[in-house]
Amino acid sequence: MSEIIDGNAVAKSIHQELTAELASLKYDRPPCVAFIRVGEDPASVSYVKKKEKVAGEIGITSRLHILPESTPQDELNALIDSLNADDSVDAVLIQAPLPKQLNERDTFNRVRADKDVDGFSNANLGFLCQEDSRAFVACTPAGIIELLKRSNVETKGKKAVVIGRSLIVGKPMALLLMQKGMDATVTVCHSRSENMKEICSQADILIVAVGRPNTVSADMVKDGACVIDVGINRVPSSETKSGYRLVGDVDFANVAPKCSKITPVPGGVGPMTVAMLMKNTVSAYKRHMAK
Ligand code: GUN
């Protein structure tokens, strides 16, 4: 019988820990995170709304900057520069994906490293590579590490396979799993990989971050593996008011019976991304206030 890892419950524990920590701090203002959303992508609208809501519940103030879809790079840069320079802002988050005219890499690199709570800048990715404790680690992979630890999943010496090589999930995920202390043997697969089925079926821990439903079927999973599904895909549904439902990248119904543990979608990795953003924001705040 596989265990369903309850991301909502773990995220809630982290929210409670952060609320208690903030209550114990005696600084003269609460933490402040600035969100930038460019355009009206429905998923981004919903993610940013959720982040604002959770921040408020924990006692973190937030500012939302909504820019039009057609915003040129220099206008976005000017906003980032002003938030970088603003002493009342501890953390800056630019919701991805950005419209085509904007360069995501340059945009992420422009955020001051000590406010880059997404961990997407070259500075923070460099710190992560060097296993430097100053790193802000990207929230989704950081959340997955937290889920593995709190669910007592052994990683030391185990075979971990990450499907996906994105900056937001795949790359930092692989770095975290191979770090000292986690000690996994890591393989990264992507759209050009050959023998995916053979590689995946050797994994003790399989992390799937592709963004396509049913990428992982039961024949790709070893008996007793721990499967972490990062996908959040909207598929049409006549049974919901919104007209869609959320599914992951894994064929959950057929894969779950083979696993020791598996994350559901929704309610697995998603809430952990938000929880780790809050954790990073509290860390940025404490560093700023201590200066
Ligand atoms: N888009 C998908 N995931 C993320 C995330 O963790 N941070 C930001 N800023 N954008 C995202």
Q: Can the peptide bond before residue 236 be classed as cis, meaning omega within 30 degrees of 0?
A: no
Q: Whose CA is nearest to atom 11 of ligand 1?
A: 96
pLDDT beneath 70: ranges in the chain:
1
Q: Which residues contact 16 (CB under 8 A, 6 or more apart)?
A: none
Check if 139 has its Cβ closer than 6 Å to any atom of ligand 1: yes
Instruction: Report yes or no: 201 and 179 within 8 Å, Cβ to Cβ.
Output: no
Q: What is the pLDDT of residues 258-278, one digit of tens each?
A: 999 999 999 999 999 999 999
Q: What is the pLDDT of residues 161-170, one digit of tens each?
A: 999 999 999 9
Label the pairing between strands 185-189 and 205-208: unpaired
- CA 96 – ligand 1 centroid, Å: 5
Exactly one of 118, 229, 249, 251 is catalytic; name it. Answer: 118
Q: Which residues contact 181 (CB under 8 A, 6 or more apart)?
A: none
Whether residue 202 lies in the annotated active site: no
- What pLDDT is stored for residue 74 in this prediction? 98
CA separation for the pair 40, 69 (Å, rounded): 7
Check if 93 has its Cβ closer than 6 Å to any atom of ligand 1: yes
- CA 133 – ligand 1 centroid, Å: 22
- CA 224 – ligand 1 centroid, Å: 30
* CA-273 nearest atom, ligand 1: 6
The CB density around residue 27, as the number of other CB atoms within 10 Å, is 12
- What pLDDT is stored for residue 1 in this prediction? 67
Q: For a ligand 1 pocket test, name from 49, 140, 234 the mutation site with the most ligand atoms within 8 angstroms of its C-beta.
A: 140
Closest by Cα among 143, 152, 175, 149 to 162: 175
- What pLDDT is stored for residue 291 in this prediction? 85
Check if 273 has its Cβ closer than 6 Å to any atom of ligand 1: yes
CA separation for the pair 189, 233 (Å, rounded): 20
Whether residue 95 lies in the annotated active site: yes
